[in-house]
Amino acid sequence: MNLANRLKAIKPSPTLALNAKAKALVAQGVDVVSFAAGEPDFDTPDFIKQAAIDALSKGFTKYTPTAGIPELREAICAKLERDNHLKFAPEQVLVSVGAKHSLYNIFQALLNEGDEVIILSPYWVSYPDMVQLAGGKPVIIETREEDGFAPDPEAIRKALSPRTKALIINSPSNPSGVVLSRDTLTKIADAVRGHECLLVSDDIYEKLLYTGEFANIGNVAPDLVPRLVVVNGMSKAFSMTGWRLGYTAGPKWLIAGMQMIQDQSTSNPSSFSQKAAVAALKGPESIFEPMVKEFRARRDMVVELLNSFDGVRCRAPEGAFYVLPNISGLYGRSYKGTPLQGSLQVSDILLNDFRIAAVPGAPFGVDANIRLSFATSREQLSKGLERFREFTASVR
Ligand SMILES: Cc1ncc(COP(=O)(O)O)c(C=O)c1O
């Protein structure tokens, strides 16, 4: 018996695989410092937990409407209007099992075999695989570190074809931490204006901002809002990764298609997570401050240290909780007599010989880099970075 052919188009998630490998080593008693985390190391705020506890106590433990409880869809619309100045009606919102599920549903609902989706590199690892799993074709546009990872509008124009169904924007970005400026978003909008594709804006790191301001492409190009698809969720801003709650706001026809897929697959996200999400979205903006303050301090510490290492240069991310140091200065040089050639190899050496889990850049489209998450304590960061320094010092 063989697996379905569609599986041939996708690869296992390298971040989840590395996390699993690092956890297995820890379970064997190896002292691994993990830079692989894709989740805040903060607890979910108490008032959010309490809302879930109250829901459980009151027996709110049954199926809900597939698209989410009306109260939550309304709270999402209110949030989008308050924070993002974007107007959506509750029927334009679908609540899913994390933003990952939202994105999966979008591509399943949208793409026919061979339809194209433009993805800016470096990109979140799951985008190309989700597109391929839906039969689509990822069209990658490279951006350059020296341009602050801002895409060249001309490259977007050239990549657009009659098969282009969507372009994905992710700002702040995983893995680069780049926050696209209003000027860059305006240029992207100008590039796609004459073309009918959807604009999928993955705003999941919106609240984790250290410099600059967050804008959605809909803010700079209100005429494109009818084809804007906003993806967001509770995982990163509210430290709710395990609650599995994300959402999409977009054109009614797309949301209806996505709902049909969800009706026939997962149905509704967990009932009490939805109640917790209502409390979170209605809660005070001040809850983000301590987390952002701590992440900013860690970011500064990590960037300064990395830039002092031989062969490494690191740009300070404006948002999210990752740094993407460029290690190509080490390539061509040797470690234990073996020439260094790429991020997968370096990542392996770091885990096996230096007991640090650092995600290779290659699966994110950038082999010159590795991705380090600073969503771990300062003590762990110092310890792990000292090991990384030892590695760079041992390269000849
Ligand atoms: C860019 C990006 N989008 C979406 C997600 C999915 O988040 P979740 O499914 O936890 O809501 C992640 C998680 O790592 C991410 O980095």
Q: Which pLDDT score is estimated for 15?
A: 76
Once rounded to an integer, what is the mean pLDDT over residues 177-182? Answer: 97
Q: Which pLDDT score is estimated for 81?
A: 98
CB neighbours of residue 4 within 10 Å:
6
Residue 324 · residue 317 · CB < 8 Å: yes
On the question of pLDDT at 18 being above 90, the answer is no
On the question of pLDDT at 248 being above 80, the answer is yes
How many DSSP H helices and E strands does the chain contain?
A: 13, 14
Q: Does a structural domain hold residue 386?
A: yes
The torsion defined by the Cα of 65, 71, 75 and 76, in degrees rounded to 10, comes to 10
Q: Does a structural domain hold residue 280?
A: yes
Q: Alpha-carbon distance 206 to 384, whole Å? A: 27
On the question of pLDDT at 29 being above 90, the answer is yes
φ, ψ of residue 165 in degrees (nearest 5) = -105, -25
Q: Alpha-carbon distance 245 to 305, whole Å? A: 35
Mean pLDDT score of the chain: 96
Any ligand 1 atom below 6 A from CB of 371: no
146 and 88 in one domain? yes
Residue 135 · residue 16 · CB < 8 Å: no
78-91 pLDDT tens trace = 999 999 999 999 99
250 and 117 in one domain? yes
225 and 269 in one domain? yes
Q: Which pLDDT score is estimated for 11?
A: 79
Q: Which pLDDT score is estimated for 14?
A: 74
First to last CA, the chain: 49
On the question of pLDDT at 252 being above 80, the answer is yes
Once rounded to an integer, what is the mean pLDDT over residues 285-306? Answer: 97
228 and 131 in one domain? yes
Number of domains in the chain: 2
Could you tell me the residue range of the domain that residue 207 belongs to? Answer: 62-284
- Classified as helix, coil or strand, 22 is helix
Q: Which atom of ligand 1 is nearest to the CA of 245?
A: 11
Q: Alpha-carbon distance 149 to 178, whole Å? A: 7
Q: Which atom of ligand 1 is nearest to the CA of 246?
A: 11
Any ligand 1 atom below 6 A from CB of 280: no
Q: What percent of the chain shows pLDDT beyond 70? A: 100
Amino acid 179 reads V
342 and 244 in one domain? no
Any ligand 1 atom below 6 A from CB of 96: no
- Classified as helix, coil or strand, 2 is coil
32-83 pLDDT tens trace = 999 998 899 999 999 999 999 999 999 999 999 999 999 999 999 999 999 9
Q: Which atom of ligand 1 is nearest to the CA of 38?
A: 14
On the question of pLDDT at 333 being above 90, the answer is yes
- How deeply is 231 buried, as exposed, middle or buried, from its count of CB atoms within 10 A (0-12, 13-18, 19+)? buried
CA dist list (Å): 302 to 18, 89, 152, 177:
21, 42, 29, 14
pLDDT band at residue 177 using 50, 70 and 90 as cut-offs? very high
Residue 248 · residue 102 · CB < 8 Å: yes
Any ligand 1 atom below 6 A from CB of 174: yes
Any ligand 1 atom below 6 A from CB of 246: yes
Once rounded to an integer, what is the mean pLDDT over residues 25-30? Answer: 92
Q: Which pLDDT score is estimated for 23?
A: 87
Mutate which of 119, 171, 204, 321 for ligand 1 pocket (most atoms within 8 A of beta carbon): 204
Instruction: Write down which residue in 233, 250, 284 finishes a domain.
Output: 284
Residue 323 · residue 302 · CB < 8 Å: yes
359 and 342 in one domain? yes
On the question of pLDDT at 13 being above 90, the answer is no
Q: Alpha-carbon distance 168 to 228, whole Å? A: 10
On the question of pLDDT at 12 being above 80, the answer is no
CB neighbours of residue 337 within 10 Å:
6
316 and 236 in one domain? no
Q: Which pLDDT score is estimated for 325?
A: 98
117 and 35 in one domain? no
375 and 322 in one domain? yes
Residue ranges of alpha helices (H) inside the chain are: 14-27, 46-57, 70-84, 99-110, 126-133, 153-159, 182-192, 217-220, 252-263, 271-282, 288-307, 343-354, 378-393
304-323 pLDDT tens trace = 999 999 999 999 999 999 99
- The single residue listed with the structure tokens 């600059």 is 212
- The single residue listed with the structure tokens 């796609």 is 192
- Residues 6 or more apart whose Cβ sits within 8 Å of residue 316: 210, 211, 299, 300, 303, 323
